[in-house]
Amino acid sequence: MAKPEFKMFKKILIANRGEIALRIIRTCREMGIKTVAVYSTADAESLPVRFADEAVCIGPPASSESYLNIPRIIAAAEITNSDAIHPGYGFLSENAKFSKVCEENHIKFIGASPAMIDSMGDKANAKATALKAKVPVVPGSEGLLKDIEDAKATAEKIKYPVMLKATAGGGGKGMRIVWNAAALENAWNSARQEAAASFGNDGMYMEKYVLEPRHIEIQVAGDREGKACHLSERDCSIQRRHQKLCEETPSPFMTEKLRNRMGDAAVKIVKAIKYEGVGTIEFLVDKDRNFYFMEMNTRIQVEHTITEEVIDYDLIKEQILIAAGAPLSGKNHFPQQHSIQCRINAEDPYNNFRPSPGKITTYHVPGGHGIRVDTHAYSGYVIPPNYDSMIAKLITVARTREEAITKMERALGEYVIEGVKTTIPFHQQLMQDKKFRAGNYNTKFLEDFHLK
């Protein structure tokens, strides 16, 4: 076989902000690729703007007029002669139209193709794709429900409790648990209304409700030659209102056998859809270690860091290489250490996690062996109220889970952030929690976790 040739990008525009923009700039610098930061007026003083080779202001603070404004971002790419765009996470990272406009303008989108984004963005369709690839899915409707009668019949067949899910959903929107037949019609009507209002698509499907599941996801990668691999799992069960707060790898619930089965299932999907890039296959795992495909993310995720730490692999570099046409070896990767990430948000954990934007007056970052801090914050930095409230990711890596937790407690104690409220006290209590320390948690864990 001929040695695959590929041409590396000369300049990448980063269509994002905050820590992930900085994260991408760092890898680009190591790869000898020039960078362009785009920014809203709220981010004029931000580190990505200072550290990128070039910076272009694309509009006012509102995301709709800056980080979500496709024409302005494309214009910035054109005037700077950028040959690729990295979208980071959130914003336009899973926007099929943006991927398409990049393609039309001959700018490489470092992410999924428009068809892939559409196909995986429709959850009922993604589920059908998984089923076709012989990957287990939660029993339920075959595709979309036609009407309330169809919903009733499906629920009787699979038995209550069931879950109604919006096909355009994710993140819990347009989703209802239905415990019995009497509650079905109201749930059906309200879920459809919510889905129509949120996504402009009221398509619904139904699943058997899985009690107290764990959320375990598999990191995957595929190249244009059809080679694919997995990079093991991340346990993301510590969530509050569908917002992840703490992630770890390996999952304390994982066994070697389960990892191989879930990894093989994830790779089957990547191969079936000829996926090109890095992605994540999300699974629900029940108490008996049955696992079910839930959704696929076609972007780099916030929690990619912990996989990098235990596998010694730069996932942003891999994304760039794959986008440029470099081949993968096709071999799977397994955790060599244990890593935990705590999301440090400017939120008040004692007040319902209410956002706490404003000026950081004092700032001291933890350090030392096994500590990684991905952040765009600095002393004097003003956290704008316009975007999500994550200001840092505190990551520890150690040989064992116990050591990674001990290190996290030490690092949380060293982290000084004054001027705004943060989630640090929440994480300190989480690290002390008996059930957490025993690895005994699932997606319901935070429902009965209360700050002292």
- Residues serving a catalytic function are 299
Does residue 209 bind ligand MV4 (CB under 6 A)? yes
Interaction residues for ligand MV4, span 111-150 (CB under 6 A): 138
Distance of alpha carbon 155 from the chain centroid: 31
Residue 138 or 184: the one with the smaller Cβ distance to ligand MV4 is 138
Does residue 294 bind ligand MV4 (CB under 6 A)? yes
Residue 208 or 259: the one with the smaller Cβ distance to ligand MV4 is 208
Does residue 191 bind ligand MV4 (CB under 6 A)? no
**Residue range at the interface with ligand MV4 (CB under 6 A); choices 46-54, 201-209, 326-334, 413-421:** 201-209
Total count of residues recorded for the chain? 452
**Residue range at the interface with ligand MV4 (CB under 6 A); choices 109-117, 202-210, 221-229, 427-435:** 202-210
**Residue range at the interface with ligand MV4 (CB under 6 A); choices 205-213, 247-255, 316-324, 428-436:** 205-213
For residue 234 the two structure tokens come to 């991340």
Does residue 406 bind ligand MV4 (CB under 6 A)? no
Does residue 213 bind ligand MV4 (CB under 6 A)? yes
Does residue 58 bind ligand MV4 (CB under 6 A)? no
- As measured in angstroms, the least distance from the Cβ of 239 to ligand MV4 is 5
Does residue 210 bind ligand MV4 (CB under 6 A)? yes
From the list 4, 172, 226, 380, which residue makes contact with ligand MV4 (rule: CB under 6 A)? 172
3-state SS track over the chain:
CCCCCCCCCCEEEECCCHHHHHHHHHHHHHHCCEEEEEEEHHHCCCHHHHHCCEEEEEECCCHHHCCCCHHHHHHHHHHHCCCEEECCCCCCCCCHHHHHHHHHCCCEECCCCHHHHHHHHCHHHHHHHHHHCCCCECCECCCCCCCHHHHHHHHHHHCCCEEEEEEEEECCEEEEEECCHHHHHHHHHHHHHHHHHHHCCCCEEEEECCCCCEEEEEEEEECCCCCEEEEEEEEEEEEECCEEEEEEECCCCCCHHHHHHHHHHHHHHHHHCCCCEEEEEEEEECCCCCEEEEEEECCCCCCHHHHHHHHCCCHHHHHHHHHHCCCCCCCCCCCCCEEEEEEEECEECCCCCEECCEECCEEECCCCCCEEEEECCCCCCEECCCCCCEEEEEEEEECCHHHHHHHHHHHHHHCEEECCCCCHHHHHHHHHCHHHHCCCCCCCHHHHCCCC
Does residue 311 bind ligand MV4 (CB under 6 A)? no
Does residue 287 bind ligand MV4 (CB under 6 A)? no
- As measured in angstroms, the least distance from the Cβ of 443 to ligand MV4 is 4
Interaction residues for ligand MV4, span 233-252 (CB under 6 A): 239, 242
- As measured in angstroms, the least distance from the Cβ of 141 to ligand MV4 is 11
Residue 213 or 419: the one with the smaller Cβ distance to ligand MV4 is 213
Which of 264, 265, 275 has its CA nearest to residue 297? 275
Does residue 18 bind ligand MV4 (CB under 6 A)? no
Residue 199 or 334: the one with the smaller Cβ distance to ligand MV4 is 199
**Residue range at the interface with ligand MV4 (CB under 6 A); choices 93-101, 124-132, 204-212, 353-361:** 204-212
Residues that bind ligand MV4 (rule: CB under 6 A) add up to a total of: 16
Residue 46 or 167: the one with the smaller Cβ distance to ligand MV4 is 167
Does residue 443 bind ligand MV4 (CB under 6 A)? yes
Give the footprint of ligand MV4 on this chain (CB under 6 A): 138, 163, 170, 172, 207-210, 213, 215, 239, 242, 284, 294-295, 443
